[in-house]
Amino acid sequence: MLKILHTGDIHLDSPFSKLDARRAEIRRGELRTSFISMMQYARKNAVDLILIAGDLFDTEFVTRETMALITREFSLFEGSIVISPGNHDCYAPGSVWERTAFSDNVYIFTEPTLSCFSFDTLGADVYGYAFTSPERTDCPLSGAEVNDPTRINLVCAHGDLASPLSRYSPISRSDIVSFGADYTALGHIHNPGAITKEAGAVYGYSGCLEGRGPDEIGPKGAVLLEIDKVGTEAEVHARRIRFSKRRYEEAQIDCTGAETLTAVESAMADEIERRGFGEDTLLRAVLTGAVSPSLIVDTRALQSRFSDLFSVEIRDNTVPFLDPGEFENDRTVRGAFYRAMLEKIESGSPREREIAVLALRYGLAAIAGENVSDL
Ligand SMILES: [Mn+2]
């Protein structure tokens, strides 16, 4: 049985620039730590082959510290490592791939055309190609087939299954199926979806190792494969292993009917508890629903009440609940103000409407005697 770890899109040395400086530094360290955990896992579980399907590095500028870490981890691994440079870390003259002395167990595709590394002790062939510039609009697998269908045939490639017009090596399902590999290890898409089995071909994305922003949702990791092959029939078992220290998550919080910030807070707390978010979570909470017109959602105050999470970003998409009858008989300044704003909300331009909604909220809060000066 052949044991393979399929990873990619690690993007070491990513700046994490959407976070504040302190958290960004923590995250850069955590990404390196997750990489180490993955390599330790491969050693402890007697993995034969690691496939890195591109974007090991975020850019061609790799810190000395990161490079020392990588070369050390690679040299400690007893199996072989195959790397297909991707669009973020393409194999170009003078690139980090050329400048670095890797251990003998590291095999890097250097050509844009399809080529193959054969591992006779494993009975396996690994096909792949390199990005040699940040974009390419062809797919080297197209029209090609494996050399020997009785070997364990693998592809390690950076390419885009999502669109035939992609600038990042568009690859089609029919290219994969007709090529005839037992497993195709893909890189490029960071939210990986399912591992697919189709006409004897198994293929999928590893996804990234750590989410780097709110669009890279959920726990991240690598794919562990166990492959047995008799004749030309391969049995492929694939499962995902989490290595990410943290996860980005998004939650829609329905705040309908809320009259106070405490009510919004408890709606958030309920959802956080229900979904098991904790110190590993970077949460984007989107508040929705029609709320009391006098409720001002102070997102900074709310944020500070969820310090158990690693970070929380709050988007206030609530709208005021407007009831023309509510202040109908209110002859005070409050009723007059309400009616004036309501008119603008109902008939103004989108910009006027937006301002009137805010004015209504602040105005009603001020009339009610709340301190709105520092909101
Ligand atoms: Mn990538």
Where residue 133 sits, what CATH number does that domain have?
A: 3.60.21.10
Distance in Å, CA 122 to ligand 1 centroid? 29
Distance in Å, CA 188 to ligand 1 centroid? 5
Do 354 and 251 share a domain, yes or no?
Answer: yes
Say how many Å lie between the first and final Cα of the chain, rounded: 62
**Region class of 352: left (phi > 0), else alpha (psi between -120 and 50), else beta:** alpha
3-state SS class at 42: helix
pLDDT-derived band at 294 (thresholds 50, 70, 90) equals: confident
Residues 6+ apart with CB under 8 A from 348: 356
Distance in Å, CA 159 to ligand 1 centroid? 10
The whole-number average pLDDT for the span 184-192 is 97
Distance in Å, CA 86 to ligand 1 centroid? 7
State how far Cα 177 lies from the chain centre: 27
Query: What's residue 354's pLDDT?
Result: 84
Query: What's residue 104's pLDDT?
Result: 98
In a domain, 373, yes or no: no
- Give me 309's structure tokens: 């999470």
Which of these three, 213, 242, 271, is where a domain ends? 242
Distance in Å, CA 89 to ligand 1 centroid? 9
Query: What's residue 353's pLDDT?
Result: 86
Query: What's residue 62's pLDDT?
Result: 93
Residue 139: domain span: 2-242
State how far Cα 334 lies from the chain centre: 48
Which of these three, 200, 227, 242, is where a domain ends? 242
In a domain, 372, yes or no: no
Kindly tell me if the per-residue pLDDT of 140 is higher than 70.
yes
Which of these three, 187, 213, 242, is where a domain ends? 242
Distance in Å, CA 158 to ligand 1 centroid? 9
By the CB criterion, residues less than 5 angstroms from ion ligand 1 are 9, 55
User: Which has more confidence, 18 or 237?
Assistant: 237
Distance in Å, CA 53 to ligand 1 centroid? 9
pLDDT tens per residue, range 331-358: 888 889 988 888 888 887 888 888 888 8
Do 144 and 126 share a domain, yes or no?
Answer: yes
Q: What Å distances lie between residue 158 and 62, 100, 131, 138, 139, CA to CA?
A: 20, 21, 8, 12, 10
Q: Which residue has the tokens 């490592």?
A: 81
Nearest to 211 by CA among 159, 160, 246: 246
Cβ atoms of residues 183 and 227 within 8 Å: yes
Do 108 and 231 share a domain, yes or no?
Answer: yes
The whole-number average pLDDT for the span 307-332 is 87
State how far Cα 54 lies from the chain centre: 15
Do 51 and 101 share a domain, yes or no?
Answer: yes
pTM exceeding the 0.85 threshold for the entire prediction? yes
Query: What's residue 374's pLDDT?
Result: 58
Q: What is the spatial distance between Cα 213 and Cα 97, in angstroms, rounded to a whole number? A: 27
Kindly tell me if the per-residue pLDDT of 170 is higher than 60.
yes
Q: Which residue has the tokens 């090596």?
A: 169
Do 8 and 104 share a domain, yes or no?
Answer: yes
Number of domains composing the chain = 2
Distance in Å, CA 293 to ligand 1 centroid? 44
Kindly tell me if the per-residue pLDDT of 364 is higher than 90.
no
In a domain, 45, yes or no: yes
In a domain, 375, yes or no: no
